[in-house]
Amino acid sequence: MEKSAQPYELPAPVPQRQPRGSVLRSVSYVLFPLLVLFTILKQPVLDLLPSQHSHNDSSSSQCAQVDPLFPSENNGRLEDMYDYISTSEFKTDSIKRLSGAVQIATESYDDLGPVGEDPRWETRYAFHDYLKKTFPRVHEHMQLEFVHTYGLIYTWKGSDEDLKPVLLMAHQDVVPVPNATVDAWTHPPYSGYYDGKSVWGRGSSDCKNSLIAIMETMELFIDAGYEPKRTVVLSFGFDEEMGGRQGAGYLGPYLLKRYGKDGIAGIVDEGNGFMEAWGSVFAAPGTGEKGYTDVHITIRMPGGHSSIPYDHTSIGVLSELITKIEADQYPTYLTDENPYLKQLQCGAAHSSDFPKKIKKLLGRRESHSCRAKPDHLALEAAKESLGIKYLMQTSQAVDVIEGGVKVNALPERVSVTVNHRINNGDEPEMVWRRLTSLAKPIAKKYNLTLHAFDGTQEAAQSISLWDSPTTLRPAPITPTDIDRTTPYSILAGTTRAVYGEDIIVSPGSTTGNTDTRFYWPLTKHIFRFGPGYDPSVGPGLGKIHTVDEHISMVNHIGMVKWFTLFVRNMEEADLED
């Protein structure tokens, strides 16, 4: 348990040394004035010297923790409702609800055609029907709107129109399960199988668990007779796994038109959860999100019979370029705004096993604004893991390659897509400039025309580079003040109320991207946070996007408890923007 949930106090001033009477009597009257002068002058010097504990106290003050926050309103039915969430009866019903949601394969494919034309979108209709059947009170008491056919907005209007609404988000879709991997699953990927501890299947932890937990929370509130003062809005996109442009890309502007810029008090969407680090457990809601750009590279060269090949085919030339791209990584560094810097400060303040070298570098750190200059703190912290490294570095991944159609025909066209997640402090233009500089000498070497981000995607005898419409700058950083009432302080207090004071709440950053990219104008207070945690399983993402995705029911039920407290705490909060 933490020693204190309040900001740590500064060390007491060093007391002024007082001469003892016995000493004074032994000092000659000639030396007495010098002693008095020395005593007077010594006091400010001592006050300026750092206490032996000053570094630790400073670290702690940089990561003060919020007290557990429970609603102050004494409402017996709501208290009974909260207790009911811990019962075996609720658990049994919740297993059925989550399992049933997983059984509907709402897959998103990168090649999905327009909404209304491609029949693969229509799995969302079955999911909508399931929600209506499973949560009848929500559909009776909350206003439901369909946006761009499959996007869902539920609104529970509050009694106080002066209070900005709270917005809870999730997405309906899941990544596809390749047929070749089905046999590798412990339980079939769309079975929703419950093994006595976890629900298994695609979407169980990304993120139908969040969506179902939110809906369960609303259903419980309505059943308990809750009447909100602050409006509650639910927004569920349907294509997050392919960029969100058809779902959240319409939902965000729709809500912006209704509530206006900064018209929402706070947003909670999928994202970071809990992590074990340095002997402590952290809840690290994503208060920042990396940028994004996909760069497509196409090489067009003459074809011919493979029995009379050129020295270098288009595949060979592209391979040379890919080798150059992967040979040189982007710099690893921390801006002052990067939430991971705050997480390091929290580790230094509260974790017994925090690395001494990182703590020393953290104490010496000054603002790092020059990418060309090594950031020794970031470089040392990056040694912890790849996941940590890429919180402080723009990533590049060669993910898709196409080329060649016949073994006896020289390839006339070959292409590759390189995915980038952009570090806080970097920008897409930096990525484009770097790739252009790498492609330029290769184009010259093979007598090819270079079209770099000039709108040309295909041309004979050329190398063409262009970005996708999904390009995104790093997200604005969410304020994390706790010295006043803010959505972050409410989130932190709610988390410690549900999981105890041993949990350290710290700002975090996400390497992936979420639907929140389309909601930035609505509020400065955006949290990418999965608030479920099962200590017996430990932190983790439940194998999202891979074989054997599953979620512990302890984790899921904790999520329901969190949403019920968060909504009530936000309602009572006198928020200071």
Is 326 known as a binding-site position?
Answer: no
Query: Please, which residues have CB within 8 angstroms of residue 496's CB and are 6 or more apart in sequence?
Result: 5, 65, 66, 67, 68, 69, 503, 505
Sign of CA pseudo-dihedral 74, 77, 80, 85 = negative
CA 193 – CA 390 distance, rounded (Å)? 34
Q: What is the Cα–Cα distance from 193 to 95, expressed in whole angstroms? A: 9
The Cα diameter of the chain in Å comes to: 110
State yes or no: 216 annotated in a binding site: no
The annotation status of 545 as a binding-site residue, yes or no, is yes
What length does the chain have? Answer: 577
Q: Is 80 annotated as a binding residue?
A: no
The set of catalytic residues is: 173, 240
Sequential DSSP letters for 313-352 = -HHHHHHHHHHHHHHSPPPB---TT-HHHHHHHHHHHH-T
User: Sign of torsion, CA 468 545 120 529?
Assistant: negative
Cβ–Cβ < 8 Å for 240, 515: yes
**289 belongs to an annotated ligand binding site:** no
CA dihedral 401→406→412→413, nearest 10 degrees, is -20
- CA Rg, the chain, in Å? 29
Residue of 500, 368, 361, 387 whose CA lies nearest to 425? 368
Q: Are 424 and 413 in contact (CB under 8 A)?
A: no
CB atoms < 10 A from the CB of 89, how many?
8
Q: Give the residue numbers of the binding site for Zn(2+).
A: 171, 206, 241, 269, 545
Q: Give the residue numbers of the binding site.
A: 171, 206, 241, 269, 545
